[in-house]
Structure 1
Amino acid sequence: MEQTIFTGSKLINGNDIYYEFYPHDQPKDTVLLIHGFLSSSFSFRRLIPLLRREYNVISIDLPPFGKSGKSLNFTYSYENLAKSVIEFLRIMGFEKVHLIGHSMGGQISLNILHLYPSMVNKAILLCSSGYLQRSKRHLLLSSRIPFFHIYVKYHLARSGVLNNLKKVVHDQKMIDDEMILGYTSPFLEDDIFKALTRMIRDREGDLTAEKLNSIETPCLLIWGEHDRVVPLNVGKRLNKDLKNSDLIVFKDTGHLVPEERPEDTTKYIREFIAE
């Protein structure tokens, strides 16, 4: 029997947030998936079919990524993104969820735990960003130069989607045309580069160790041993600063854990939620 999928968008804080909702007939819990930088809900394509067997699953595209809005009047700070996610949940009628955040999505999840702990049961952080500082002053000033978004576009095009994928996965044989197209599609219009320029200015640094220490929500950290984007030592440091956390490390795995190890990731998520 084909399962139901609802897709749409909600206007939150002046920007559209695209979502995919996979309801379960008899859900044990609801999980919210938050993707990483330069990504979208596409990055959870292998994880969602496994999670939806047991849970309500919601996946969102964080503005300005994927199919979400790219308004230049929106504040693209972690704090405002976290507030927008919470407002989205309230509008959708969800009082409490489990968060699953990958890379930058992990940092957004941590901001939610810091600002709105009552909205979250547990959090699963997949190769979460951590301890990054705000952009350097010269970059912040440069981002105000007219047409700076063209430089952003050129910089990303120069590195290329294929090269970026080779950096984020350990086994490069898994990269195929579908994967390349899925990660390329959101960047075919210029609007996103203008919004990314705004994000350079708005993004504050990651949560400090002091703020991380104040988080009491149970957290499961899942890392790839060969993560070259957010190295394992960041995971070990987060494990130390988050007083109610555990760390799982996958061997022969890179940064893109939801794509590389969906079955193993789902297994640990289920065990953690059931505890």
Structure 2
Amino acid sequence: MKALRFILLAVAALVTCLLVFIHFFPAKVLMFALDAERKQAGLVRKEIHFGRDLHYVFLEGGQGEPLMLLHGFGANKDNFTRIARFLTPHYRVIIPDHTGFGESAKPKGASYTPTEQAKRLHELALALGISKVHLGGNSMGGQIALVYAQLYPDSVESLWLLAPGGLWKGPVADIWKELEKNPQALNPLVLEREEDVVALVSLVMEKPPFTPKAFLKLIARERMANASIEKQVFTDIQSHDITEDIRGLDIPSLIVWGNKDRVLHPGNADLLHELLPNSRRVLMEGIGHLPMMEAPEKSAEDYLKFRKTIQSAVPLG
């Protein structure tokens, strides 16, 4: 009994110390946590420079066929770190920060349209010695992946589309309908006030992983510092509807959508399935806009099954 009491007191003391450390040194603890998660996934931080105004910071790990994963609007490369540990045993995984986000270049006056972003990523792929690539992307990243495939169809082996953007003529989520009624309201995806970060997390994820408030504040401050670029990016991606550009794109594609997605309407999965003749779709129950963060193991399992269908040449449907 005394031993159990001692263990419980020791655990309580450790938890208290950790909470205190998080409170006073949140940036250091967050970086430590990210480094640990990257290490578990077999990922290493790298960077490559193409000139003063263009450089990429990216995570890379694993061996096999190249799989490039593209994060969504307002996010960064670590949105895919949690799921990467299920992927690096099978593939060479590359996860860049898009230009304008994370640690990559943020050139003033640059164009952030999906077309320009896709061209930059193609330059990155070639610099890494990649001529054929499997692409995965969430939200804005999915939109960029589709544009990349349309621009360079002979370079893309398959597409993994996790609630991709760009289908602006499809079903619209309620949040954007409400914004149309009140144009003066703030864009909920662009953080301009620290206190809005909790609402943003609840908007994009139905089952968000636990994140200490100190970490959320750090994330909010980084997003606020990048708000001017994000507003430009948002305008650039909204101005590019990709529906007709990708119609009939005959690349093996896995379409994944959470049925609780409140950012991009799940009904767009059906529309995209009709546009891509060589596609299959997965609707994830109880999942929001970020399947790879909310259900990383299940999302990876579905993807690995999809890749096996490509290898065995089983028709998709």
Partner of 1:223: 257
1:213 maps to 2:251:
no
Give the structure 1 partner of residue 59 of structure 2: 20
Kindly tell me the number of residue pairs found equivalent between the two proteins. Answer: 252
- 2:53 and 2:75 map into 1 onto residues whose CA distance is 21
State the match for 1:260 in structure 2.
Answer: 294
> Is the CA contact 2:44–2:59 (under 8 Å) kept in the aligned structure 1?
yes
Q: Is the 8 A contact 1:227 1:255 kept in 2?
A: yes
Kindly state the Cα deviation for residue 252 of structure 1 after the two structures are TM-superposed: 1.1
The answer to whether 1:177 aligns with 2:212 is yes
Deviation at 1:203, TM superposition (A): 3.8
Distance 1:129 1:51, change over 3 A: same
Q: What residue number does 2:87 align with?
A: 51
Aligned counterparts of 1:186 and 1:266: Cα–Cα separation in 2: 29
Superposition deviation, residue 5 in structure 1: 2.0
Structure 1: which amino acid aligns with 2:287?
A: T
SS in 2 for 1:66: coil
Query: Which one has more relative contact order, counting CA pairs under 8 Å at least 6 apart?
Result: 1
**Structure 1 residue 258: Cα displacement:** 0.8
Aligned residue for 2:304?
270
CA contact (8 A) 2:204 2:261 kept: yes
For the aligned residues, what is the CA RMSD?
Answer: 2.7
Give the whole-Å Cα distance in 2 for the aligned partners of 1:39 and 1:114: 24
CA–CA distance in structure 2, aligned partners of residues 106 and 30 of structure 1 = 17
1:253 Cα deviation from its structure 2 partner: 0.8
Q: Distance in 1 between matches of 2:293 and 2:217?
A: 15
Corresponding residue SS for 1:65: coil
Does the CA-based 8 Å contact 1:15-1:74 persist in structure 2? no
CA contact (8 A) 1:19 1:59 kept: yes
Q: CA deviation at 1:205?
A: 3.0
1:198-209 equivalence runs, <5 A: 198-200=232-234, 202-203=236-237, 205-209=239-243
Question: Match of 2:305, SS?
Answer: helix
Cα deviation digits, residues 29-86 of structure 1 (max 9, x gap): 2110100000011211211111111111100011211111111132111100010010
- Asked if structure 1 preserves the Cα contact closer than 8 Å seen for 2:45 and 2:57, the reply is no
Q: TM-score, normalised by structure 1?
A: 0.82
Given the alignment of the two structures, is residue 237 of structure 1 paired with residue 271 of structure 2, yes or no? Answer: yes
> CA 1:123–1:79 in 2, change beyond 3 Å: closer, same or farther?
same
* TM-score (normalised: structure 2): 0.72
5 Å-filtered alignment, 1:44-193, equals 44-132=80-168, 156-158=191-193, 160-172=196-208, 174-177=209-212, 180=216, 183-184=219-220, 186-187=222-223, 190=225, 192-193=226-227
Letter in 1 for 2:308: A
Once the two structures are superposed, what CA deviation does each residue of 1:209-228 show, in whole Å capped at 9, x if it has no partner?
Answer: 32221311111001101100
